[in-house]
Amino acid sequence: MLAAAALCAAAPVSAQSVLTVDASQKGAAIGPLHYGIFFEEINHAGDGGIYAELIRNRSFEDDLETKSVRPRRRNPNRPGRELHMPRGIQGWHTVGQARAATCQEHLLNQAQEACVELEVKEAGAGIRNEGFWGINAVQGTKYRLSFWVRAEQKWAGTVTASLCETSGTSLGATPISIEAGTEWRRYEAEITATGSNPEASLALTFSKPGSIYLDVVSLFPPTYKDRPNGCRKDLAQLLEALHPRFMRFPGGCYVEGQATENNNLQNRFVWYKTIGPIEQRPGHLSVNWRYNVTDGLGYHEMLQLSEDLGAEPLFVVNVGIGHGWVQPYDQIEEYIQEALDALEYANGPVTSKWGKMRAQNGHPEPFNLRLLEVGNENANFYFDSNRDQSDHYFKRYEQFYKAIKAKYPDVQVIGNVESWGTDAPSWRSQLPVDLLDEHYYRSPSWFASYYNKYDTYDRKGPKIYVGEYAVTSNFGVNGHLTAALGEAIYMMGTERNSDVVRMASYAPIFVNENDQAWRPDMIRFNSAKSFGTPSYWVQNLMSNNVGTQNVGFALTDNVLPARIGHRFGLATWGTAAWFSGIKATSLDNGSPIEVQADWTSLGGPNNQEGQWSVTPTAVFQTSQRAEGGIYLNGTTLPDNYALDCTLARTEGAEGAIIVFGYENDNNYLWWNLGGWGNTQHAVEQISSGSKHTIVAKQGRLEPYRPYHARIEVRGIQVRCLLDGELVHEFQLPSMQHIYAQAALNGTDELIVKLVNFTDEAAPLSVRLKDFTPASGTVTVLRSASGTDENTMEQPMKVAPVQSLFPVSSPNFSFTAEPYSLNILRLKR
């Protein structure tokens, strides 16, 4: 990332903001755990993701009644739409003249619920596994294969294990001599790939006919730090590059589980069922995220990954609450004991029951688990019931807290607060707590506006762990740059208030592009490739440039005046509508403004522009699939004008939208009438590609009823009237041009972070006090547009670039380019 050319200090520019940094004015120390990561088994983040196992449905159980929901994968072209996968033995296909069927008799052990009975009818026939949307065969790479086999009638011969293309072309094979009898026997082999294909399969073919039973067929590539049953290298290395200080696991809703009508299991993560040899792990159905989980990436592996990353483990425990099920709060002894046993496994001596098992599993030294969270999102609003997974949370928490502190007083206990429905969650209890876990999934502008969120927190109150946060609205497709910059601004606010906010972790980390149950995510991958979104790079840069000691700073002349464009248009969302009587009037002299006859259709968020038509009397949009696509008029309006029209919604879920103040497709406003399922009227501002609500009021549009809408604009003053009644009146807000953060790293290095959240360059005059730099570097994350994203085809379109920053004076100039995160590291 180090550019060859140096970035020279810019010459002074007019209309500069001024940043004054005083290194002698010490603020809060930034603790050693400030930035970490949060792992949850979602989007095939584990199985089919960072867990390096290449065989899908290795135990042939994914289709059993106890471990099956409607199998699905997300259609990446239509988010929210499902592509249902065919029934059968998931992931497996026969080769040649063979028949395969699951069998639930004479099983390998009590943990296994099924195996496969394979009837081989001719030499060279067998069974093939396609992996998780393909097995990535890489020429020259060695793969470790293992499987269990038995036969009712003795079978002796050769099994050929091969990596192959769908056509059958071999990409490397190895013969294995086996003797199968009535007792299960394990075989191992190594396959060296002789070719490359990201969509390869593993085939097991047999040298002669017979009836064979197989179970726990496993194939591993080389793993991160060569751990057995370990992690996929490229994904683990992306985490390693973040230098996370802690790792929270295993979830998330995944911790809670979810009961279903057809399956009364709680389907929660139970840590002691996820340790030991893989054939002794039963796995479980993750109803929350709708796929079966092997639990190969279990409690031990997560502790090991934390250690390998240099991160402290943070374990989340279940408190007897899940989605659709609840254990009475006065009958949760087993859950408390489960938490205590997990701590003993992680920390106990090898002479203890669980410490001995940890040693048997290859780690005699303690993992030193010091962070434990009691519940996940279990302290919302309905403590009298489980309507929102909050049943008697504080009564549960108290029992856990006392038991944990009695046996492990040094463990930091983390409590839950409201996880939705408020921007000011609080600990509604007098019980002691070490940290509170706040969760925020919001828009880019929300995060930018909460740069100062923690400035007013009670310094004597509980400390904060922001356990989950991410831009989840107005983020584009995979997550664009503006979304990441909003997160960066919020993160700088947590750094400035590190005496209150001790820890923070983005969520979620991973998504397999073939199963997108949640978007966005900061690392995207398929069987062969992976890349970081702009949010990943923000996490990377912030974590690797955090500093140790906040210092004082001030920004002056930093207000970017509000601006508004001069064109207008129409739009709908999930609704057909018509508009008529469109006219514009000057508010300076009352004269009419000619409305041009030309219109231009602009794409919406999902490329659903709508089906627009114009008649002499009206404009029609007849598609219910349109989602925000703008029909832009060619008229240029003055600074002060009124815009009138009559409109009606005809069919669909919402109302109609009038676009105004249009500057370009990343900067405009719209009045959304009957939005949010026809429940609200609101004015939303799209700024640098990010949308946020300025004003909102409850309201709806009746179908087919005409309404007269009027928008009055006087500079940045706006009034909106519906049928002559004033609905909204507001002034467009100004915004900061630059957001900043400054900290010392030790005594001889100053780190200054700057975010420009706008499409205008921000010239800055920097004045340092009590710090004279002798050298420096600057790292810049930026792109031409705030809506730019990374993709599998362009994985580094938005990526940081580092260069030298020659500086030898405490006073210098710097220009923050549009849509940019800039990190200056200055050394004395």
> Could you list the active site residues?
377
Alpha-carbon distance 772 to 101, whole Å?
A: 74
Is residue 82 classed as helix, strand or coil in its secondary structure? strand
Answer yes or no: are the C-beta atoms of 351 and 358 closer than 8 Å.
no
Q: Which helix (H) or strand (E) holds 396?
A: helix 393-407
Alpha-carbon distance 290 to 212, whole Å?
A: 31
Give, in order, the Cα–Cα distances in Å from 720 to each of 6, 75, 588, 646, 682.
51, 39, 18, 14, 10
Alpha-carbon distance 365 to 627, whole Å?
A: 56
Alpha-carbon distance 79 to 729, whole Å?
A: 35
Residue entry with tokens 């046993």: 341
The CB-based long-range contact list for 522-528 (8 Å cut-off, 24+ gap) reads 522/470, 522/479, 523/235, 523/238, 524/478, 524/792, 525/49, 525/234, 525/235, 526/133, 526/134, 526/198, 526/792, 527/131, 527/132, 527/133, 527/134, 527/135, 527/136, 527/198, 527/199, 528/134, 528/136, 528/198
Give, in order, the Cα–Cα distances in Å from 712 to each of 580, 584, 586, 642, 717.
18, 10, 10, 4, 8
Nearest to 129 by CA among 145, 110, 107: 145
In this structure, how many other beta carbons lie within 10 angstroms of the beta carbon of residue 308? 16
Helix and strand totals (H; E) in the chain? 10, 54
Where residue 139 falls (left for φ over 0; alpha for ψ -120 to 50; beta otherwise) is beta
The residues pairing with 721 across neighbouring beta strands, listed in sequence order, are 710, 726
Identify whether 520 is preceded by a cis peptide bond (ω within 30 of 0). yes
The structure tokens listed for 465 are 């762990």
Answer yes or no: are the C-beta atoms of 268 and 487 closer than 8 Å.
no
Q: How far is CA 809 from the centre of its chain?
A: 41
Q: If 0-12 CB within 10 Å is exposed, 13-18 middle and 19+ buried, where does residue 510 land?
A: buried
CA end-to-end span of the chain: 23
Nearest to 224 by CA among 36, 38, 50: 50
Answer yes or no: are the C-beta atoms of 52 and 223 closer than 8 Å.
yes
* Size of the chain, expressed as the number of residues it contains: 828
Residue entry with tokens 């109150």: 461
Q: Would you list the DSSP string of 319-353?
A: -SEEBTEE--TTS-HHHHHHHHHHHHHHH--TTSH
Nearest to 760 by CA among 823, 815, 805, 692: 815
Alpha-carbon distance 472 to 79, whole Å?
A: 13
Is residue 398 classed as helix, strand or coil in its secondary structure? helix
Alpha-carbon distance 501 to 480, whole Å?
A: 26
Pairing relationship of beta strands 707-714 and 72-74 according to DSSP bridges: unpaired
The structure tokens listed for 247 are 């790792």
Residue 507 identity: A
